[in-house]
Amino acid sequence: MQKRTLGNSNLEVSAIGLGCMGMSFSYGPPKDTQEMTALLRAAVERGVTFFDTAEVYGPFTNEELVGEALAPVRDQVVIATKFGFDCGGSDTRPGAAGLNSRPEHIRQAVEGSLQRLKVGTIDLLYQHRVDPDVPIEDVAGTVKELIGEGKVKHFGLSEAGVQTIRRAHAVQPVTALQSEYSLWWRRPEAEVIPTLEELGIGLVPYSPLGKGFLTGKMDESATFDSTDFRSRLPRFTPEALKANQALVDLLGSIAKRKQATPAQIALAWLLAQKPWIVPIPGTTKLHRLEENIGAAALTLTSDDLSEIGSAASQIAVQGDRYPENLEKMTGR
């Protein structure tokens, strides 16, 4: 597995990471702990060194799973986690917890994450969503103190807007921004990616396969259990799935030519955008993990990329990516 460095930091990770959320949260019922432990260790054996979790996934159970599974290989991996939600409530649906980035809450969250992850230091700590009630300078300043205390190594933001990124970076250099980015969500290209390039900040795209859609394994007849948060996303209605099939067909035609899969083309396209982009596709299946890792060895030529770019620009993706209550938490 090739390595990449996130921005101007010295944080080197595998070119493709592993998003761990779906193992415990959000995509249907939690998966079997032993199976997921085996999957996490299989990822390490195959060269993955970058793992993504958050205290709100579960809540808490995903960090516990990741911490337990990766404890034997702790010195070989980089674990990223996130703070920024009140995780104590009974409603555990994504986005149900209120935002909370008050300095004392950040410290409390970090102590909990250190214990659950079984680590002495958090490699990369993201603010999960920008809290409009807490100045970003206070957030960055608190993380700066935690870095000084040796509890955190690197500071990240998730789904932050350009002005917030600049203000935070001025207080404590931001190593990475985690945001949704894929062939069916390209908004970061307008302002965010140029800003990251200017400031020397890495980009970690989550949902790089469009929450599974870009794999080509679902169509308009796809149904989602009530415990699967895609059941509430406008982009996963039968009408939107049907309308957006053109994007999957495009990936499929290029995949056939390259003797690859649509998912591999989608990931290779992301990797080709910038050398400091590290996608974190999530999966709970070993064959999908191996398929995703295979994208790192796939080279798209400039002709391939321009073909994908011009064809994709003709396709108007249908449906909002989030309901309004979740979308308003992004881009602040």
What is the residue-wise DSSP string for 12-63?
EEESS-EE-GGGTSSBSSPPPHHHHHHHHHHHHHTT--EEE--TTTTTTHHH
Q: Are 153 and 41 in contact (CB under 8 A)?
A: no
Report pLDDT for 219.
87
* Residue from 122, 117, 121, 199 nearest 160 by CA: 199
Report pLDDT for 97.
78
What pLDDT digit, counting tens, does each position of 144-171 carry? 999 999 999 999 999 999 999 999 999 9
What pLDDT digit, counting tens, does each position of 164-208 carry? 999 999 999 999 999 999 999 999 999 999 999 999 999 999 999
* Residue from 306, 256, 289, 300 nearest 46 by CA: 289
Q: Is the pLDDT reported for residue 77 higher than 90?
A: yes
CB atoms within 10 A of CB 45: 8
What pLDDT digit, counting tens, does each position of 5-54 carry? 999 999 999 999 999 999 999 998 999 999 999 999 999 999 999 999 99
Q: Are 122 and 73 in contact (CB under 8 A)?
A: no
Residue length of the chain: 332
Max Cα distance, the chain (Å): 54
Residue 27 is among the residues annotated as catalytic for this protein: no
Query: How far, in Å, CA of 200 to CA of 11, rounded?
Result: 12
Split at pLDDT 50, 70, 90, the class of 91 is low
Assigned token pair, 27: 């995509």
Per annotation, catalytic residue among 57, 126, 181, 206: 57
Report pLDDT for 179.
98
Average pLDDT, the chain: 95
Query: How far, in Å, CA of 255 to CA of 188, rounded?
Result: 25
Assigned token pair, 28: 């249907």
Query: How far, in Å, CA of 266 to CA of 205, rounded?
Result: 12
Report pLDDT for 89.
66
What's the gap between Cα 298 and its chain centre? 21
The answer for 146, left when phi > 0, alpha when psi is -120 to 50, beta otherwise, is alpha
Query: How far, in Å, CA of 317 to CA of 246, rounded?
Result: 9
pTM flag (> 0.85): yes
> Is CATH 3.20.20.100 correct for 3-327?
yes
The answer for 141, left when phi > 0, alpha when psi is -120 to 50, beta otherwise, is alpha
Which residues are paired to 202 by β-bridges? 176
Report pLDDT for 95.
65
Q: Is the pLDDT reported for residue 88 higher than 80?
A: no
Report pLDDT for 24.
95
Report pLDDT for 1.
93
Report pLDDT for 90.
64
Q: Are 159 and 179 in contact (CB under 8 A)?
A: yes
Instruction: Show me where the domains of the chain are located.
Output: 3-327
